[in-house]
Structure 1
Amino acid sequence: MTSWQEFGTAAPSLAERLRARFTAADAHVLATLRRDGSPRVSGSEIEFRGDEAYIGSMVDARKARDLLRDGRFALHASPGIEQGGDAKLAGHAVEVTDPAEVALHQQPQPSHLFRLDIEEAVLTWVEGNTLLVESWHPGRWVRFARPDNGPAVRTELG
């Protein structure tokens, strides 16, 4: 699994732009998997602290139960903000149970805390008549440019 810091080291400019996009608003859209495998979307916040990215949840909330059963997640930055592009993260959420680490996040009531292991990061934006997509997976960072809605041009970035 890849920590936020490891992702940032592998793709620094992409990590910086994604972080800016996720910190531009408080609420984002979190996708988890229900017991039957169907998707569930919930509002969620993301917190960047030190080398890691975290999400929280009220105790026994549906999204927390989903993540405890199957940690796969996708997080989409608030679609209400148009500047900075369309940002998405995906990977596995791992519950933090160490009381000292949980205490650092100072939640006013009991809650779940999940560290995000990043397996995919994507930023999509438009410049002029060109759709641009930067996509990162461990060991692979690429940019796709689609000028004038034509064929995509792929560039390896890392």
Structure 2
Amino acid sequence: MATWEKFATEAPDLAGVVRERFQAFRHHVLATVRHDGSPRVSGTEVSWWGADLVIGSMPSARKALDLRRDGRFALHVNPGDGSMEGGGDVKISGRAVEVVGAEQRAWVEEVRPPSPDSHLFRLDLTEAVTTAVSDDQTHLVITLWRPAEGIRTFHRA
């Protein structure tokens, strides 16, 4: 597991692509684990607060309750027009850690979410993946980063 800051230090070019894709669109798709173990997908927004990649949530929203119980998540960047231009498809996964106490209150004061009781989760990463079409349009180029393994690139026809 790695913080965003560690990811950005270990793989700065890839982290730059991932961040640019997240910032290109406001809404993304978050997958969490329901109480019964089945998946739940929810719309969400991401942001950076300090050195951390974070998501906020309305008080007691299902996605927040899922993450409190089981922090595992997958997050798919909005694919835009589907052309895969501008960095391709981006997904990250890892574990969400709820930020509470003085740090959560400071975030509320700075960001001013709709409710002062909003949840704040820091997203720690187990992997980041980009999928793009090769320059010659003949195959996919998949770039995978994991904390213990670094970057690996795959070509898939």
Q: Structure 2-normalised TM-score?
A: 0.88
Aligned to 1:153: none
Aligned pairs for 1:10-25 within 5 A: 10-25=10-25
Superposition deviation, residue 49 in structure 1:
2.4
Aligned to 2:88: 85
Give the paired residue count: 147
Q: Structure 1-normalised TM-score?
A: 0.88
* Cα distance in 2 between the residues matched to 1:111 and 1:79: 27
Aligned to 1:142: 152
- Structure ranking higher on relative contact order (CA contacts 8 Å, 6+ apart): 2
Q: Secondary structure at the match of 1:21?
A: helix
Q: Which structure has greater strand proportion?
A: 1
Aligned to 1:114: 121
Superposition deviation, residue 131 in structure 1:
0.7
CA-to-aligned-CA distance 1:55-108 (integer Å, 9 cap, x gap): 111101100000000000000001234422110010000111033443333213
Kindly indicate whether residue 105 of structure 2 is the aligned counterpart of residue 96 of structure 1.
no
Aligned to 1:43: 43
Which residues of structure 2 form unaligned runs of 5+?
Answer: none
> Mean Cα displacement is larger for which, 29-38 or 137-146?
137-146
Aligned CA-pair RMSD: 1.3
Superposition deviation, residue 133 in structure 1:
0.4
Kindly indicate whether residue 111 of structure 2 is the aligned counterpart of residue 105 of structure 1.
yes
Give 2:90's aligned amino acid: A
Superposition deviation, residue 2 in structure 1:
1.0
Give 1:62's aligned amino acid: R
Aligned to 1:28: 28
Q: Secondary structure at the match of 2:80?
A: coil
Give 2:111's aligned amino acid: H
